[in-house]
Amino acid sequence: MTETGQTAQPPTDDHAFAAWAATLAGERLLAVRGEGLEGRELKDAGDAAAQALLAELLATHRPDDAVLSEEAADDRARLEAERVWIIDPLDGTREFSEPPRDDWAVHVALWSGGDLVAGAVAQPALGECFVTGQAIELAPRRSERVRIAVSRTRPPAFVEALAAEMDAELVPMGSAGVKMMSVVRDVADAYVHAGGQYEWDSAAPVAVARAAGLHTSRVDGSPLVYNQPDVSLPDLIVCRPELAADILAFVERHGTE
């Protein structure tokens, strides 16, 4: 975890650059949040402001790299590129539009050579940015009862069944990135999802989760693969390593319907 303010020159290291860009976008989003907008106007303003800033930073400081963003048209040239930044300028737009909620995030990840190589997840309302490239100490588990992060509005039925089998507690929260970082922070022990997502929803959080030593996979145990022609990546598991076998076994027996 790092705190990265604006500097005169951007970092040359890709890990530090991801954190720098995510943090600056988060600062911009906090400023937008303070402009007095509400509801849809606030959501749209946040999406647009963060996208514009990240697009400018990447075009200026990583001009030879491709970009895949939730808030921009998909440039298929990325499929032939050596380096692709996968970004979600505002993950958890609904929570962002409900001050003072803090469960929203900015995702900045770098894909190269067939896999994620750097990533940062900023949680601006907490003043934190989780980033690869340095030691990420997984917080010691304080809860005897397993905690599973779920959507605050639509927890999947199969996760409720999983929680019942494991005698686990469901912990509702917003942004997908926040749910994954909750496992790093020992706010939850697992995040299990099968309701539909895209590459930008998980790329940066998965990079950080891996760096922290967490288990990351599809719900069938297969690897999470990025920079694909179809950017849908509908399911995943991020959890403490000791829970992975039980969660995968449950999904194999019961599925996700």
Average pLDDT over residues 188-198: 93
State the chain's mean pLDDT as an integer: 93
Q: Is the dihedral of CA 156, 159, 199, 104 positive or negative?
A: positive
Domains present along the chain, CATH in parentheses: 14-131 (3.30.540.10), 147-254 (3.40.190.80)
Tokens of 236: 């995943």
% of the chain exceeding 70 in pLDDT: 97
Q: Is the pLDDT of residue 43 over 50?
A: yes
Tokens of 94: 């609904």
Distance, C-alpha 62 to centroid of its chain: 21
Q: Is the pLDDT of residue 3 over 60?
A: no
For residues 100 and 81, the answer to whether their CB atoms sit within 8 Å is no
Burial environment of residue 242 by CB neighbours within 10 A (0 to 12, 13 to 18, 19 or more): exposed
Spatial CB neighbours of 234, under 8 Å, sequence gap ≥ 6:
194, 195, 196, 197
* Number of helices followed by number of strands (H, E) in the chain: 7, 10
69-114 pLDDT, tens digit each: 999 999 999 999 999 999 999 999 999 999 999 999 999 999 999 9
3-state secondary structure of 111: strand
Give the pairing type, strands 190-193 and 147-151.
parallel
101-113 pLDDT, tens digit each: 999 999 999 999 9
Rounded to whole angstroms, how far apart are CA atoms 179 and 181? 6
What pLDDT was estimated at residue 8?
A: 53
Q: What is the pTM assigned to this prediction? A: 0.93
Distance, C-alpha 157 to centroid of its chain: 22
Tokens of 22: 């995510």
Which among 143, 197, 138 is positioned nearest to 237, based on CA atoms? 197
